[in-house]
Structure 1
Amino acid sequence: MKDAAAELGDRPDGLDPAAISPDHPIERPEQDVFGFDPFARAIANSIAGLKSPEGLVIGIHGPWGSGKSSAVNLVKHHLTKGGLKGAEDLTLVEFNPWWFNGADALAIAFFREMDSSVGKSLPAKARTVLRDLGRKLSGASPFIEAVVNMVTAGTGGAAVGTGAKLVGDSLDGKQTVLEEHAEIAKALRSAKRRFVVVIDDLDRLSVDDALLVFKLVKSAGRLPSIVYVMVFDRVLIETAVKERFPSEGPHFLEKIVQAGFELPPPEPHDLRDLLLKNVNRIIGQIPTDQETRFWNVFYDVVAPNVALPRDIVRLTNALEVTWPAVAGDVDAPDFLAMESLRQFWPRVHRAIYDNKTLVCGHELSFIPQGQAKDHCNAQLLGSVSEQEWPQLQKALMRLFPALENAWKNNFYDAEFEREWRQQRRVCVETHFDPYFRLTLSDQAASAKEIEAFLVSADDPDFVRDALHQALATPRRRGGTRAAVLLEELTVRAPLVPEANIGPLVAAIFGMADELEIAADRSEFFSFDGNFLRLHLLLNRLVYQRLAIEQRDAVLEAAAQTATLRWLIVFSLRCIRLQESAPNGQVSGEPLTSAGAAERLRALTLARVEAAASEGAFIRLPDLVSNLFSWRDLIGDGGADQVRAWLAERLDDDALVEALARSFISVGWTHTAGDVVARREPRLNRGSVEALVDPVALRARMTQILSREDVEAGRREAIEQFEAAWVRLDCGTLDD
């Protein structure tokens, strides 16, 4: 990668960041956004004022990516186009060593470049000598080494004696190399021009090639009227010299570079300004209500990593590629911060990915408070030095508030978590993966999909079609997208226009039973599922947003066309919220008024009795649960009424089968040595006895099993009930 303060376009202010490219450093002062131009102008003035330089070497140093190529381009601009006094007789020569590889190629290229540029100002004879010198060096590696080692003896070269012999020898029976070098020097002294040879990109070379260029400049390149401007990372070169020639150290450069200048670092606010321009161009304007958090994230996570112009290029180029893939489906400040960690702290970024449940808070609830801090340090920061922990802890707590539990003993409640989910932040497990995989997981709905739903929430046909489509779309790890859509709607319930609440609730009530499917229930719990998600949606959409009179109107209207199972569950909730606790107090404001709750009870009872008389009731899933709900809806005398209804219908084989299936539940046991829990059927004797005479029920089951024409599915259900009952009698099955 070349320099970071890249070509910024042709606008007068030079601040168009859309043109940033890793291969185009700036070339004109008006493009300078980092304050390099005063430094470059000073260097150019000094060069213009040198009257009789003789192989003078000026070094411009700076770390990799600090903007050295941009600075040297500004030096060249002022020398050639800046109208500097004394620069009229200067000829600019550029030698790009990174185009070549190896001693032969570098030496030959160096002299050919000198011939094509410096040679033009020499008399014919001197130019012939210069070309002759280049030809002698062509393909003669030992001779090249002798030349550079002879003149730079003591800078890591070979023995002087061997070098002197080769340099003193004539390869073609005419002049020796030293004689030819002297003749070229004499011609240059009499010439009326001075030459500035710029050698950039030394950082791109291998260690050996970079050292060879320095030695070429100091040896064969030490000529009158020539100034060399060499651009390199001083720390890298000195480290390389120390490895190759331990006795030299910094003296190597001191013997070659007469004037070294450290590139002044950019002002932090200039770096931040350019980065923010790029972020604004790529990501877009940050909404006003997110500005405070954006600046918090920017200064705690992003800004500390941006110290050089190249850092801006790295982060900008990454965003150019990754942001379009996730735009709208992630939180912009969090994504910028995570991309910053990916670029500058890759091991920490990987540790975050490997510890999703930890950074999102779930795992922390199982770790003793006294051990949480050390655990988080080990899991997340184990790849970096302890001196770097404070900065990274601050950054990670800004992105993952749950970590404040371990590092600051701070805690956040569920309301914060709902807000984070609405913002699609990285700290929410549902929205975690897109920050790493650049694609939504099937545990989340896209922002575009949710926005479309919110806009059309008053269209019952749209709502039903969207939910049906979600039900028909399985998720990779089980369940359907209906669960995802309901959860996303719950998070964004405050964004549904108030006028759309009634139509949306009515549409969902009208198909609620279709939503309650086994696939969307947890494998280990029976109390979750899409009915629970509907309750949570009602809390956010109706209970928290509408006054009780408005709630009555919306919910009673929706109940008129609600599916039966959901109507039973929903009505009982409204009724129970009216009931006082044992201490005589009602917990919070009820979902509906007392009058509305009673009207819902009457409506539901009428629907249940109609279904019971028509035979539809026994076909409902979870028959036993529905029977207990029927009992509770009736109130006093409900138990006797339900028992009587069942007793009258025990001669119905379908009812007996439905009871057998519904009385059996699934439980999970985990014993020592088990890696996973074991699934087991459960039967509650008390539930059976509360609804039906078990003796009469089992007698009917025996009668059914005695027939040879019993359907296989019915036989299996009844036999499973009988086996469970026997295990209860034998004490091998928990009641």
Structure 2
Amino acid sequence: MADSNSLPVDHPITSSEDDVLGRAVVAQDFARSVRELDASQGVVVGVLGAWGHGKSSFVNLMREEFAEAPTLPVIEFNPWVFSGDQQLTDVFFREIAAELRLKDQSKFGAIAEGLDKYGDVLSPLAVIPWFGSWFDRAFKATKAATTWWNDRKKGSRTFRETVSDALKQLDEPVVVVIDDIDRLTTNEIRDIFKLVRLTASFPNVIYVLVFDRRRVEQALSEDGVPGRAYLEKILQLSFDVPMIPTEVLRTQVFERLDVILQEIQGLRFNGAIWPDVYVEIIDPLIGSLRDVTRLALSARPTLRALGQQIEAVDLLALEAVRVFRPEIFQALHDARLALTETHSLWGRTQDPDRKAEIDALLRVAGADEGLVRALIQQLFPAGRTYIENNNYGPDWINTWKREHRLAYIGYLELYFGRTLPSDLVSFQQSELAYARIADPDALGEYLDSLPREDLESAIAGLEAYQADFPEESVVPASVTLLNRIADMPERRNRGMFDFMRPDMVVTRVVIRLLRRLEDETARERAVREILAGVQSYSSQELLIRSVGRVEDPTNALISAECTAELDDDLIRRVRTTESSAPGGEWGLFRVLWFVAERDGDEYVPPPLNDPVQIRALLQSASSVARAQSMGSRHVREEDRLAWDGLVRVAGGEDTLAGAVLRLRESDGASPLVLLAETYVAGWRPEEF
């Protein structure tokens, strides 16, 4: 049994209890009109309507009236089942005969037998003995060849009269429903109407033909004779199934989609954008209840798979295009970069390749160009630069990313490929981090749970939320982030122009956090609180330098007086107190250099006895020099140390050489030790 959340598939309704269009009364009234027809010489009735407009359902509603006393037996023949490899004439009479036997052998047996023989002599295969389906029926069904030949010699008229005489004895007519005629090929449609014409005068037989008028008229038109005139000669009565009111279709769309939306936990659905997207994109594509069903069935797996990650309104819009306009959907895929790339207002020019992609998309759309333009306006604002005088700059990317819109290329690629791009993996991690940004314990626990190689991108993604950082998160979040710089590995695979480092990534987020405090006094108070919670001197120095000791004083977040005071306090602590996190001093070289520069000749180097401290010092003074030749993609790399600076902060080359020796005793021939030993031996790098 289907559960309450099950969606109807594309099957006709079978009962007035399922009638959502209010057609039951109309169908039953029409069925009563059919009853009242004089069927003494046969009747042909048509139920007409476009594909998907409920013709089969309408006939099923008529059956309910036919089932009322006095009951009219209803025989159904579906030519689509037999089209193709079997001749319709060969199966038509056999199928109707079989249906009559099932209804009542005693009542319809003689009619069925007569129809069987009538079909035998009319079948185009019957003129070729021992061939095809005639052989199967005539011989495998125990019909002797001599019997068939005797029947054949009698001709069709004899058996027609036999069938007619038997039909005249019926108290009520038999209704023969022939559905799905419009699904047949042109030749098959003509065959069906020839069969009906051959048997239309059988007494007490009412044919109910169900088809799309335009399709059948087109198939029956030949030699200058319009198909409509042909139909008018055959049909005594017809009913055009009415178009479904737009309001009813919309109600059905909303009801069926609501079943889907309610079952998905954490679904992203923006009610503010839904009305425009529905009216301008989805509604023009829905023309029948069949369309409603197709959209609901197609959208369900997509929403289940992606509805928690991508805005559901966007998904529904593209699913509607995919289902009803697949050629436009393919063109959207081809133009995905043109639809999502933003352009700076400065020196703004249209990319000719991207413009060509949008032009190709509009050409494919043809009569649906207006729909595609609405799609661009509602879902892909970046593409508007190619269809109107409107531009969306790079700043919008973070907005689309936060809102999980397909306007962001990462989400669009996820929709098309069903594989999460690496940048979206990082952004999802950033989202989860942002959800904890005001809780230092929860934020720290989450960041610590991530692979170390993912920390940098997860923290960098927090910039997308800078406009929404709550003020209460400034201090706890800054402390948490600054304390994790040492946990972020330096990536050696950076490109030539990728200059970001873990400390720079954290700095950008911390600065944006502090900017949420508009008052300078509040910022200075927050910086002091942050410094009290930061463990390493390296991160403390970074914070003071980033907010106060900047090249352009107008960009400072704290006053020069506060900066000087914080610097003096840091230098005092570095001189007198060992770091509480020696292994986490990711920037020890810079801290000591700052102290040495401030102290000048009075600088007193720290004792370099602890291998942990020595290792931190050398690592923080190391770098990778990169060079790339013109015309080559290969990037050459060379490890280096700021040797002269190390000599300065260590208090001399001999002192530094002794520290390297102590590190050798602790770490052995590690890459860092080997690099330092080459400097001790006198090697110096050449410039690339």
- Using the size of structure 2 for normalisation, the TM-score is 0.77
Give the deviation of 1:471 after TM superposition.
Answer: 2.8
Structure 2 counterpart of 1:395: 375
Other structure's SS at 1:518 match: coil
2:606 & 2:484 partners in 1: Cα distance?
32
Give the deviation of 1:333 after TM superposition.
Answer: 1.2
Other structure's SS at 1:519 match: coil
Residue type matched to 2:116 in 1?
A: G
Answering whether residue 42 of structure 2 is matched by residue 55 of structure 1, we say: yes
| Change over 3 Å in CA distance of 1:189–1:132 after alignment to 2 | closer
2:54 & 2:457 partners in 1: Cα distance?
48
Structure 2 counterpart of 1:376: 357
- Paired residues of 1:548 and 1:591 also in contact (CA < 8 A): yes
Give the deviation of 1:621 after TM superposition.
Answer: 4.8
1:435 & 1:115 partners in 2: Cα distance?
54
1:380 & 1:238 partners in 2: Cα distance?
34
Residue type matched to 1:558 in 2?
A: I
Answering whether residue 270 of structure 2 is matched by residue 311 of structure 1, we say: no
Structure 1 counterpart of 2:392: 412
Structure 2 counterpart of 1:21: 8
Structure 2 counterpart of 1:93: 75
Give the deviation of 1:76 after TM superposition.
Answer: 2.5
Q: Which moved more, 1:326-335 or 1:458-467?
A: 458-467
1:364 & 1:212 partners in 2: Cα distance?
65
Structure 2 counterpart of 1:156: none
Structure 1 counterpart of 2:482: 509
- Paired residues of 2:583 and 2:616 also in contact (CA < 8 A): no
- Paired residues of 2:328 and 2:365 also in contact (CA < 8 A): no
1:727 & 1:423 partners in 2: Cα distance?
50
Residues 486-543 of structure 1 show CA distances to partners (whole Å, capped at 9, x for unaligned) of: 24544346667655554333333333322x3223985344532443443343355442
Other structure's SS at 2:50 match: coil
Other structure's SS at 2:275 match: helix
2:277 & 2:407 partners in 1: Cα distance?
13
| Change over 3 Å in CA distance of 1:373–1:700 after alignment to 2 | closer
Q: How does 1:167-566 map to 2 (within 5 A)?
A: 171-172=150-151, 175-203=154-182, 210-220=189-199, 222-238=201-217, 250=227, 253=231, 256-284=234-262, 290-361=270-341, 368-369=349-350, 371=352, 374-378=355-359, 380-381=361-362, 384-413=364-393, 416-438=396-418, 440-444=420-424, 457=437, 459-472=439-452, 479-480=453-454, 482-492=455-465, 499=472, 501-514=474-487, 516-519=488-491, 522-544=494-516, 547-564=519-536, 565-566=538-539
Structure 2 counterpart of 1:666: 625
Give the deviation of 1:679 after TM superposition.
Answer: 3.2
- Paired residues of 1:118 and 1:195 also in contact (CA < 8 A): no
| Change over 3 Å in CA distance of 1:316–1:539 after alignment to 2 | farther
| Change over 3 Å in CA distance of 1:539–1:36 after alignment to 2 | farther
2:310 & 2:288 partners in 1: Cα distance?
28
1:305 & 1:203 partners in 2: Cα distance?
22
Residue type matched to 2:630 in 1?
A: T
- Paired residues of 2:53 and 2:288 also in contact (CA < 8 A): yes
1:288 & 1:321 partners in 2: Cα distance?
15
Other structure's SS at 1:443 match: helix
Other structure's SS at 2:46 match: strand
- Paired residues of 2:39 and 2:206 also in contact (CA < 8 A): no
- Paired residues of 1:62 and 1:234 also in contact (CA < 8 A): yes
2:328 & 2:231 partners in 1: Cα distance?
37
Residue type matched to 1:312 in 2?
A: V
- Tell me which of 559, 563, 568 is aligned to 1:602: 568
2:102 & 2:328 partners in 1: Cα distance?
52
| Structure 1 unmatched ranges of 5 or more | 1-6, 10-15, 82-86, 147-168, 473-478
1:287 & 1:133 partners in 2: Cα distance?
59
Other structure's SS at 1:410 match: coil
Q: Which moved more, 1:389-398 or 1:359-368?
A: 359-368
Other structure's SS at 1:50 match: coil
1:92 & 1:536 partners in 2: Cα distance?
77
1:539 & 1:274 partners in 2: Cα distance?
51
1:618 & 1:72 partners in 2: Cα distance?
82
Give the deviation of 1:421 after TM superposition.
Answer: 1.7
- Paired residues of 2:507 and 2:546 also in contact (CA < 8 A): no
| Change over 3 Å in CA distance of 1:627–1:385 after alignment to 2 | same
Give the deviation of 1:293 after TM superposition.
Answer: 1.4
| Change over 3 Å in CA distance of 1:323–1:462 after alignment to 2 | same
Residue type matched to 1:468 in 2?
A: D
| Change over 3 Å in CA distance of 1:258–1:530 after alignment to 2 | farther
Q: Which moved more, 1:532-541 or 1:136-145?
A: 136-145
Structure 2 counterpart of 1:150: none
- Paired residues of 1:133 and 1:177 also in contact (CA < 8 A): no
Structure 2 counterpart of 1:128: 110
2:422 & 2:469 partners in 1: Cα distance?
23
Other structure's SS at 2:529 match: helix
- Paired residues of 1:329 and 1:446 also in contact (CA < 8 A): no
- Paired residues of 2:93 and 2:115 also in contact (CA < 8 A): no
| Change over 3 Å in CA distance of 1:281–1:658 after alignment to 2 | same
- Paired residues of 1:91 and 1:194 also in contact (CA < 8 A): yes
Residue type matched to 1:678 in 2?
A: V
Other structure's SS at 2:313 match: helix
Residue type matched to 1:374 in 2?
A: K
Answering whether residue 548 of structure 2 is matched by residue 575 of structure 1, we say: yes
2:640 & 2:491 partners in 1: Cα distance?
22
- Paired residues of 2:24 and 2:61 also in contact (CA < 8 A): yes
Structure 2 counterpart of 1:65: 52
Q: Which moved more, 1:220-229 or 1:331-340?
A: 220-229
| Change over 3 Å in CA distance of 1:109–1:403 after alignment to 2 | same
2:224 & 2:155 partners in 1: Cα distance?
32
Residue type matched to 1:671 in 2?
A: M
Residues 89-126 of structure 1 show CA distances to partners (whole Å, capped at 9, x for unaligned) of: 6433333344545223344112322455597656xxxx
Give the deviation of 1:331 after TM superposition.
Answer: 1.1
Residues 563-622 of structure 1 show CA distances to partners (whole Å, capped at 9, x for unaligned) of: 433322221111146x755xxxx25xx5345565444433443455468x8899899556
| Change over 3 Å in CA distance of 1:328–1:143 after alignment to 2 | closer
1:36 & 1:722 partners in 2: Cα distance?
96
| Change over 3 Å in CA distance of 1:722–1:225 after alignment to 2 | farther
2:243 & 2:344 partners in 1: Cα distance?
42
Q: Could you say what the CA RMSD is over the residues aligned between the two structures, in angstroms?
A: 5.0
| Change over 3 Å in CA distance of 1:73–1:605 after alignment to 2 | farther
| Change over 3 Å in CA distance of 1:132–1:460 after alignment to 2 | same
| Structure 2 unmatched ranges of 5 or more | 129-147
- Paired residues of 1:60 and 1:260 also in contact (CA < 8 A): yes
Answering whether residue 98 of structure 2 is matched by residue 112 of structure 1, we say: yes
Structure 2 counterpart of 1:678: 635
Residue type matched to 1:528 in 2?
A: M
Other structure's SS at 1:272 match: helix
- Paired residues of 1:433 and 1:441 also in contact (CA < 8 A): yes
Give the deviation of 1:313 after TM superposition.
Answer: 1.0
Give the deviation of 1:234 after TM superposition.
Answer: 3.8
